[in-house]
Amino acid sequence: MRVVFDLDGTLIDSAPDIHAASNAALAEMGYPALSLDEVRSFVGKGVPNLVERLLQASGEDPTGPMNRRLTEALMARYHDAVALTLPYPGVRAALAALAAAGWRMGICTNKPIGPTRAVLAHLGLQDAFEVVLGGDSLPERKPDPTPLFKTFEGLGNGPLAYVGDSEVDAETAARAAVPFAIYTRGYRKTPVAELPHDAAFDDFADLPALIGQIAR
């Protein structure tokens, strides 16, 4: 039995740290700070997209000469951006319940693998997951289904399900044709009803039973 999770906006609320790192990088480049809500809306498609959106919001060409400089400034801070990040309520108990029930777990995120491992270690969650793929682990990133397939492959055989929070996760699951449970308190902007999903939940206490119902 296999369940794969997205990370930012699904298991952890990392937006405050990404916001702080983004604003520090922008300040280094001479740009004004952006709001937490604005930066949160940029999260989910990986660092290249985040940098482009930050530049666009700052009135710059998103793919122009400032792209490389801002990427370097952001990544210099991203690996240590863990102090403000917390798991969502009930995550630890849900992971423990799934493990006790025999589920093998993995993470498939567009967050770079370095910061991914750093935040999992900071929160003491690294041992819960047998396979962890980041946005730079493969040439492809979500919503391409390849990273999700690779994560499932590393977990062996058996029923499977994917858990995420965003439009990117919903598209990834649909393209992979795997059962999808959406966490409704994450970083999603589109109404839940407009996204393909097999189940929706706002309380991690409900997740272990939910996964058992939708996995195939």
pLDDT reported for residue 80: 87
pLDDT reported for residue 70: 96
Indicate the domain borders of the chain: 2-13+85-214, 15-78
Tens-digit pLDDT profile for residues 137-196: 999 999 999 999 999 999 999 999 999 999 999 999 999 999 999 999 999 999 999 999
pLDDT reported for residue 109: 98
Q: How confident is the model at residue 121 (pLDDT cuts 50, 70, 90)?
A: very high
Q: How far apart (Å, rounded) are the C-alpha atoms in residues 48 and 71?
A: 8
Q: Indicate if the pLDDT at residue 79 is higher than 90.
A: no
Q: Annotated catalytic residue: which of 6, 8, 13, 169?
A: 6
How does the average pLDDT of the chain come out, rounded?
A: 96
CATH superfamily of 2-13+85-214: HAD superfamily/HAD-like (3.40.50.1000)
CATH assignment, 15-78: 1.10.150.240
Check if the beta carbon of residue 11 is closer than 8 Å to that of residue 181: no
Q: How confident is the model at residue 17 (pLDDT cuts 50, 70, 90)?
A: very high
> 3-class DSSP state for residue 2?
strand
Query: Which stretches of the chain are DSSP H helices?
Result: 15-29, 36-40, 47-57, 66-78, 91-100, 113-123, 146-153, 167-176, 207-214
Q: What percent of the chain has pLDDT above 70?
A: 100
- Residue 117 main-chain phi, psi, to 5 deg: -65, -35
Give the number of other CB atoms < 10 A from CB of residue 166: 26
Say if 2-13+85-214 and 15-78 have the same CATH topology.
no
Q: How far apart (Å, rounded) are the C-alpha atoms in residues 130 and 22?
A: 30
Q: How confident is the model at residue 76 (pLDDT cuts 50, 70, 90)?
A: very high
Q: Model-level pTM? A: 0.93
pLDDT reported for residue 171: 98
Query: Catalytic site residue 6?
Result: yes
Tens-digit pLDDT profile for residues 42-56: 998 889 999 999 999
Q: Indicate if the pLDDT at residue 216 is higher than 90.
A: no
